Every structure is written in structure tokens, then in C-alpha cells.
Amino acid sequence: MIVKKKIILASRSPRRQTLLRQLGLDFIVIESGIDEDLDHIKIPIDHVTILSQEKAAAVAKGVENGFVIGADTIVVLDKEILGKPENEKDAFTMLSKLSGRTHEVYTGFTILDRPSNKFITDYEITKVTFRQLAANEIHEYIQSGSPMDKAGAYGIQDDYGAVFVEKIDGCFYNVVGFPLTKFYLAMEVFQKELGLLYE
């Protein structure tokens, strides 16, 4: 993937970092420090796109030249937004709700250019179906500590949470935390708009 400027990832998520490296990209990480608690924004698409923009904008203030990437992922079940669990009890409640049900994973991302401050924002939605989970399975998973930094209290890519998933409909990488195909295409379009890449 050809990117004509240095990349700054406004996220400490190890999963997003791994996915960007999968595209062969070099980047530095600067955490945004943005409060992710946007309970007042009930529309999932607005929630993830606005938060991705705020994260990118916060980090961009300290960047003279480059692309700043912000992203946010949430899990939505019956119109209820499930972010990262606050504690183990919260994680148990989330996973119990997801058990035997189909939910949606939303990820919004923003690429913000410095110094022009132009940006592009997009999002992806993936449907995920869980098999029926036993209470002891949920407790065992929580004891591993893995759910505590993940939206919806589970990870699909590199831990025990993978065996909870019966099927997915849509982009797998979106469930991991970053929709690679959408990002790749958006970066190409954005660089052409900025005159950095040519048809």
C-alpha cells in the first residue's frame, strides 16, 4: 500500500496496530486521550464516526505533517450500544446478553491530513452470531482478563472469545477493530483528492 505521508495512529489498540502492519504500513502511535463515553449519541453510526473524528482531531493538534488515523468500535444489540466493560460484572452481563444472539459490530474511522486539516470518514457494519454460552465459559473467559479492553467484552481474533462466534456476515477485520478493505480504499481516494496519488 502506497502512503505518501507519515502515519500517526490515534489509538493504543494492539489489534489496530497489528492490522495496519498487515498492510505493510509504518506508523507511530499517539493515544488521543479522548473520553469514549458518548452515551448521549444513540445512533451507532454517528457514535463511531464522531468519536473517530474527535480522536484524530485531538492528536492532529500536535502533528505538523502527516495522516492521523482515528477509529472507534462498538457492539450493538437490540439498539443498545455495548462499549468496553467497566468491570467483570459488566463483562458478564454483556456476554450473557450476546449469548445465542446476533449483534452488529460498528467501526468508524477517520483519516485527517495535516497541515490541510482535510479529512475523510467512513464506517463498516458486520453481523456476528454467538452460539449459546454456558455461565462457566463466560466466567472462565473473564478470568483471563481478555474481555476488559474490548467492545462487547470479547475478541474474535486471538483469544478464547473466538470460540463464542458461530458465524459472521460481513468484514472479519471490522470485528477485530479495523475494516481493512474500507480503509485501504478510503486512503487511496483521499490521497488522490489531495493530489498525492494520480489515476
* CA–CA distance, 98 with 85 (Å, rounded to integer): 13
Q: Which listed residue (72, 90, 122, 169) is catalytic?
A: 72
Enclosing H/E stretch for 165: strand 165-169
Q: Is the residue at 16 inside a domain?
A: yes
SS3 184: helix
Beta partners for 129? 102, 167
* CA–CA distance, 140 with 148 (Å, rounded to integer): 13
Q: Is the residue at 93 inside a domain?
A: yes
pTM above 0.75, yes or no: yes
Q: Is the residue at 56 inside a domain?
A: yes
Q: Burial level of 160, CB count in 10 A (0-12/13-18/19+)? A: middle
- Catalytic site residue 72? yes
Residue 123 sits in a domain whose CATH number is 3.90.950.10
Q: Which amino acid is at 116?
A: S
Please name which of 109, 95, 97 lies closest in space to residue 159, comparing C-alpha atoms. Answer: 95
Q: Is the residue at 187 inside a domain?
A: yes
Per-residue pLDDT of the chain (199 residues; tens, 9 = 90+): 889 999 999 988 888 999 999 999 999 999 998 877 666 788 999 999 999 999 999 999 999 999 999 999 999 999 899 988 999 999 999 999 999 999 999 999 999 999 999 999 999 999 999 999 999 999 999 999 999 988 899 988 867 888 999 999 999 999 998 999 999 999 999 999 999 987 6
Position 39 scores a pLDDT of 67
State which residues form the domain around 36.
7-193
Position 157 scores a pLDDT of 80
Position 38 scores a pLDDT of 67
Contacts for 188 with CB less than 8 Å, ≥ 6 apart = 197
Helices (H), 11-152: 14-22, 44-60, 88-98, 135-143
What's the chain's length in residues? Answer: 199
Q: Is the residue at 173 inside a domain?
A: yes
Grid cell, residue 9, equals: 495512529
Phi, psi dihedral angles at 26 (to 5 degrees): -100, 140
What is the tally of structural domains in the chain? Answer: 1
Q: Is the residue at 1 inside a domain?
A: no
Please name which of 58, 60, 52 lies closest in space to residue 16, comparing C-alpha atoms. Answer: 52
Phi, psi dihedral angles at 50 (to 5 degrees): -65, -45
Maximum pairwise Cα distance, the chain: 56
Q: Is the residue at 199 inside a domain?
A: no
Q: Is the residue at 157 inside a domain?
A: yes
